[in-house]
Amino acid sequence: MPRGYEGQPDGRRSEEKIESSRFRPRYRALSAEEKALHDANKAKAVELVALFEQVKPGRYRSLGMTALEEAVMWTVKELTA
């Protein structure tokens, strides 16, 4: 899966250890293994979205989609913390 951004890191990424923060103004660089895990999680989420979209539209499908988005968000937050 191609990465969305291949350019130089901007000022938000730091090569230094980042102190934990609720709003994380700076991000630490990920290792190659962490990047691969990040991409694998996002790819699986895309697969689940396609599966969820096969269910008729409605409130419960929307709730499921929101729960999936939230699960991916928290998992990525933990991975990048």
pLDDT digits (tens, 9 = 90+) for 28-54: 788 999 999 999 999 999 999 999 999
pLDDT of residue 13: 66
pLDDT of residue 64: 97
Residues of the chain above pLDDT 70, percent: 70
Q: How far apart are CA 57 and CA 48, in angstroms?
A: 15
State how far the Cα of 8 lies from the Cα of 10, in Å rounded to an integer. Answer: 6
Mean pLDDT of the chain: 84
Q: Is the model more confident about 19 or about 69? A: 69
Helix (H, G, I), strand (E, B) or coil at 7: coil
Q: Is residue 15 very low, low, confident or very high in pLDDT (cuts 50, 70, 90)?
A: low
3-state secondary structure 9-62: CCCCEECCCCCCCCCCCCEECCCHHHHHHHHHHHHHHHHHHHHHCCCCCCHHHH
Instruction: Report, in angstroms and rounded to the nearest whole number, the Rg of the chain calculated over CA atoms.
Output: 16
Q: Is the pLDDT of residue 1 over 60?
A: no
